[in-house]
Structure 1
Amino acid sequence: MSKIAKRIPGLILAAAMLLSIAACGGSAASSDNSTVSDSKAGSSEALVQKESVTLSLWHIWAADSESSKAPFEKVLADFQTANPDIKLKVDATENETYKTKIRAAVAANEAPDIFFYWSGGYMKSFVDAGKLLPLNDYLDDETRSRQLTGTLSNMTFDGKIYGLAHSMSVGTFFINKELFAQNNVKIPETYEDLTAAVKAFRGKGITPMAVGAKDTWCIDMYLDILETRQAGYDACYKALTKTGSFEEPDIIEGARKLQELIDMGAFTDGAQGVTRDESEVPFYEGKIPMYFNGSWTIGNIMRPDSKIKDKIQIIKFPKLSDKSDINDFTGGVSEIFVVNANTKFKDESVKAIKYISENFAKEVYLAGAGLPTWKVSVDESKIDPLTKELVKLTQDSKTYTLWWNTLLEGDDSQLYMNKSAELFAKRITPEQFVKDLQTMNTKK
């Protein structure tokens, strides 16, 4: 079994990054032949035929608003230069549409040679169906040693490794300190501070928190951290791994607090009809004081043309009860690249994801779009201050609970997203919410 959502000592990932950085200053593939000639003038040697292959690659960074798009495209271009005999046919699709598209392609045995996916339980159905290529035989000790400790855990099942990650993401609470100062509102250290801030901003006609609830995973970002801060890591972990129950009083209370914030007017007006990208526009314009989302958001905050890059700080999301720990985080190693088990070009495909994953780790770090899972060497002066602040903020981390909709398997993941949307819309009560989730743990 994969060691998903496992308790991770802070010095394994966050501090390990600091140490490693400080120490460094259905395949859609086709083939064709390219001719390579001797460069010596007048040579009578025969022309040498070198086989070339084309690998199809799918990913989710389609929009310019994606902080990972530019660094990823750079890595692809670099790979093509370094490997002229391997051509990449690249297809990019927006996140939510991509999920449906890739599942359909895999089910029909029409998946690309290489594709982006999510680790944990989310990928397990593909593993169980034999759709992904095990990578163990392709990863020598030297390759493994270049990755940070624990990186491969979320994509390992029954001792077999099925993907390579490039970065680690952390659920991050972004604060526009200028808006707090201008409106004489205290930056929240407790839940009481948080609700007071919500009421104060809403009273001034300012939307307190951004969320694009049309993309359900954005609701889950808030719900995951509320549950972690209310019920604590252990209760959440046990419920998610079917060794405990969702019908715990504190898990119910975590759901209730989400609805409490909704009732206060904490979130984007008409949020259920607003996408993630749409909800972020006023935040990037400096009009929304609080936002909880993945650490990849730093990449957009710190863009050269950003209106808020000098106005944002990140803080730990406040505790909601004594059962939680301020150093328990959501997130972890979730975004990966995998190889289609049916590709005609296994060696080339693995070569490609090894290159892409390792080099993308460096580029996303430089772009502020993620923390690297490889031991990259970078010029520290080029790392933006907000990313450095995130590393410092998480260096005392005790646990990381993988995003719930990623940790949970297949139908369970979809059930969680459906029920969190219903909870957000207030179509169900917190009690009904956990009762419905508990069906995951009682079904045979």
Structure 2
Amino acid sequence: MEMKRLVSTVLAGVMALSLVACGESASTAPATDSGDAAPAAEAEAPAEAEAEAPAAEAAASGEPITLKMWCIATESDSNRHAYEAAIADMQAKYPEITLEWEAFENQSYKTKIKAAVSANEMPDIFFTWSCAFLGDFVEAGKVYCLDAAYENYKSELPEVMLGNTTYDGKHYGVPLTMNIVGLFANMDLLKEAGYDEIPGTYEEFIKCCDALKAKGIIPFGCAGKETWCVTEYLESVIEKSAGADALNDIFLGRATWDNADVGAAVDTFQKLVKDGYFDPSGIGLTNDEVKNNFMAGKYAFYMNGTWNCADFANNAEFFPKVKVSEFPVINADKAKLGQLIGGPSDTLAVAASSPNAERAADYTFELGKLICHYGYLDGCGLPAWTPYGDTSSVNELTQAVAEICSNADTYVLFGDTAMDADSANTYLSYVDQVYGCQVDGEAFIKGLAKDIR
């Protein structure tokens, strides 16, 4: 019950915050006073049987059909079990619907789904990130509108959670879980350097990194082979230097990249690289390799999405060693604690070209609810859907993330999701160059200001 109350507080907080707007065509729910939002969110979650009632009515049986789905829940992905459990439930409940699904690695999937959209060769159901990433597909007329299907699930899925997948007032995505970028720490290694807690100020944080280095411990691991992993570090440094509003406005095209505070933040990040705080071999490693190194005790810190709580909790030897916090504030004149990178982003959508789009829409809502449910229990993120059933098994690390989010002030969606495809690709190219120390902060902001308009 205590965990349900905490998550209710988080949902109320999300409702009260100004989430990133996904462009001029998008329509996010307006910010409301948290005092008004809280009572609704604090209502008791429905019992599991009650939660399934609308879904049972919506996914009416019919002629046998086969639906195809693409996602990123690979064998090594934290969400794999949630997908497998949800799909098994759906197969048992709807034997007339055969789901053929494939999972692809994160980075390669972004290329694959964009190519499939261009060639009009999409699966019936596909994983996507919200905001501009999905918005490009919606604008091209390739995504099925979910307004009619959503009517059957409104009591279980707060409409505010659909804000990042709403375009011109219409809903096009089914949200799963929401996540933030967390600063994970191996506390056994920090204790070797004389620290019992993750430092709360940037000055102390740097002293801690220096103490780690003096003990022969690498402070950070980062997968340079997957650029999105580098953004988890860089965007956090920028947000805690220039402020969430400044970064959000830049991502949404409301302000120029030519921002001196952003340039200084890039230099701050690059100084960490040049000063040897990052594993030099990381530039050629995948995220799975870096995460495994972190759990094996090679690095003290790992900055990545809080969906990793599931993998950490499943490692009985490592789990007692790990804690999570948010990255410390670098410039208190512009930034503050509670400004987080992340928010509701992981989404399922239906292709407009699907010959069974109407049935696929209902199927996708119910499947999404189940993936969210199992993912939340596993620790893969906080729920976009109203929690139901017994949630007492949620691990302590995910509870700590919920506590961080309950005190959130602002969420800034991941940059390569918030921006349109062309701008995101340009941005990621510059991020690569920053991590490789090929461009400094000045070149980064001037180059992006010129190349992204």
The normalised TM-score by structure 2 is: 0.87
Please name the residue that 2:189 is paired with: 179
For residues 10-62 of structure 1, give each alpha carbon's deviation from its aligned partner in whole angstroms, at most 9, with x where no partner exists: 7899x79983577769xxxxxxxxxxxxxxxxxxxxxxx96210001111111
Cα shift at 1:124: 1.7
Does residue 1:299 correspond to 2:310, yes or no? yes
For residues 134-163 of structure 1, give each alpha carbon's deviation from its aligned partner in whole angstroms, at most 9, with x where no partner exists: 1112221x5123113520010111111111
Please name the residue that 1:38 is paired with: none
For residues 391-441 of structure 1, give each alpha carbon's deviation from its aligned partner in whole angstroms, at most 9, with x where no partner exists: 112212111000011101110011111110101101111111111221355
Q: 1:2 corresponds to which letter in structure 2?
A: A
Change (3 A) 1:266 1:20: farther
Question: Is the 1:332–1:401 Cα contact (8 Å) retained in structure 2?
Answer: yes
Does residue 1:160 correspond to 2:184, yes or no? no
Please name the residue that 1:319 is paired with: 329
Q: Map 1:228-267; keep pairs closer than 5 Å.
A: 228-267=239-278
Cα shift at 1:267: 1.4
Match of 1:374 among 385, 391, 400: 385
Question: Is the 2:45–2:386 Cα contact (8 Å) retained in structure 1?
Answer: no
C-alpha RMSD over aligned residues: 2.3
Q: Map 1:185-224; keep pairs closer than 5 Å.
A: 185=195, 187-224=198-235
Q: 2:153 corresponds to which letter in structure 1?
A: T
Q: What is the aligned-residue identity percentage?
A: 30
Query: Which stretches in structure 2 are left out of the alignment for 5+ residues?
Result: 1-24, 49-60
Q: 1:19 corresponds to which letter in structure 2?
A: E
SS of residue paired to 1:271: helix
SS of residue paired to 2:42: helix
**Which has the larger helix fraction?**
2
Q: 1:62 corresponds to which letter in structure 2?
A: T
Cα shift at 1:306: 3.3
Q: 2:92 corresponds to which letter in structure 1?
A: T
Change (3 A) 1:16 1:122: farther
Does residue 1:395 correspond to 2:411, yes or no? no
Does residue 1:2 correspond to 2:57, yes or no? no
Q: Please, which moves more after superposition, 197-206 or 103-112?
A: 197-206
Q: Map 1:413-432; keep pairs closer than 5 Å.
A: 413-432=424-443
Change (3 A) 1:170 1:334: same
Please name the residue that 1:127 is paired with: 138
Cα shift at 1:268: 2.1
Q: 2:67 corresponds to which letter in structure 1?
A: L
Q: 2:434 corresponds to which letter in structure 1?
A: L
Q: Map 1:40-119; keep pairs closer than 5 Å.
A: 51-63=63-75, 65-119=76-130
For residues 54-89 of structure 1, give each alpha carbon's deviation from its aligned partner in whole angstroms, at most 9, with x where no partner exists: 0011111112x3110011111011101111111101
Question: Is the 2:130–2:165 Cα contact (8 Å) retained in structure 1?
Answer: yes
Q: 2:63 corresponds to which letter in structure 1?
A: E
Question: Is the 2:189–2:217 Cα contact (8 Å) retained in structure 1?
Answer: no
How many residue pairs get matched?
Answer: 415
The normalised TM-score by structure 1 is: 0.88
Query: Which stretches in structure 1 are left out of the alignment for 5+ residues?
Result: 26-48
Change (3 A) 1:338 1:16: farther
Q: 2:158 corresponds to which letter in structure 1?
A: L
Q: 2:430 corresponds to which letter in structure 1?
A: K
